[in-house]
Homo-oligomer: A and B are copies of this chain.
Amino acid sequence: MGTRRIIAQYPWAKAPLIVSAPMRQIALSELATEVSLAGGLGFIGSGSDQSDLDQILEDSRRLLSKIEPPLVANHGTLPVGVGFLNWGADLKAALSSIKKYKPAAIWLFAPRHNDNLVEWTQRTRSLTNGATKIWIQVGCVDDAMDVVKSCKPDVLIVQGCDAGGHGLNQSASIISLLPEVSSGLGTLVESGELKAAEYPILIATGGIVEGRGVAAALALGADGVCMGTRYLASHEANLSKGYKDEIIKRHNGGKCTVRSSIYDQLRGTTDWPKEYGGRGVINQSYHDAMAGIDWTENKSKYAEAVKAGRLLSGLS
């Protein structure tokens, strides 16, 4: 069922649907368009700042216009998506870009309150007459139930705790989470709170890097998968070569990285709602924070390390 609906919404896509995550500052026109051209759906990471979104969408349109034959998207939409960080994104600016470029989908994530998602969903659907599809990312069962009931998203992205980037500090992996969400949504249909036609396409994300993870996600009940970290070392990712080389060198991921709010605090990106953290490579700053050293001291040591080039990037 999932596949038929995916193809109906994104006619160029191959099954199972492979999606690239809207990574802020990293997933721009190059990465998003290449993923769509390969039969997936690429997302631009617009984050909480929409000032360059028109330019990125213009670049995407230009890159896609060179393809012969062109990708066929529904209702004249642009065959890429745009991801927003709803705790800080500007709805008015976003709608202006959506109107101008009509992306195939928008991806909503991490609002301060779930009500915010209802407004974004309604305004976007109304503006594009439903052509731009609504994707919403959640990291726990209760949020999944809430947003499916209130927004009826076209796609629900279920993010497990292995994910790179940001997610709930307190969460489960898709092994536990996806069946629990899927069964929960099933009860909404049984109880009549959700029509069967409104049951969203389910996209699993978090810790999937190759075929075995994709197969597992499908077994768990997903219709497709999203990957982020997997694309970091690609030519198309907007990251320094040094950073890409480091990514490839890492192994034993569960031990060398951690999801925590500490990296945001170190970098001063403290606008995220408090329940979200970003996954980062465990470094001295993390150990120092766990050992309870003074925050001012820790932040200044971190800033020194960045300045001295001992950390590859503020993006961890």
- Residue ranges of A at the interface with B (Cβ–Cβ < 8 Å): 139-142, 160-162, 168, 170-180, 182, 184, 206-210, 212-213, 215-221, 251-255, 258, 282
Contacts and interface: CB of A to CB of B under 8 A. Distances in A.
Across chains A and B, which 9 residue pairs bring their CB atoms closest together, nearest first?
A172-B254, A173-B173, A215-B219, A176-B207, A216-B216, A175-B207, A141-B252, A171-B254, A216-B219
Copies of this chain held together in the complex: 2
Given A142-B255, A172-B254, A178-B212, 16 more contacts: A140-B254, A141-B251, A142-B252, A160-B175, A161-B173, A162-B173, A162-B176, A170-B258, A172-B207, A174-B175, A175-B208, A179-B209, A180-B251, A184-B251, A215-B216, A216-B219
Contacts of A206: 173, 175
Given A141-B252, A170-B254, A209 B176 contact: yes
A28 B168 CA distance: 37
A253 B160 CA distance: 12
Contacts of A251: 141, 180, 184
A143 to B, nearest CB: 9
A74 to B, nearest CB: 31
Contacts of A172: 162, 173, 207, 253-255
Given A175-B208, A179-B212, A254 B161 contact: yes
Contact of A255 (B160, B170, B282): B170
A199 to B, nearest CB: 16
A292 to B, nearest CB: 9
A212 to B, nearest CB: 5
Contact of A160 (B168, B173, B179): B173
Nearest to A140: B255
Contacts of A220: 212-213, 215-216
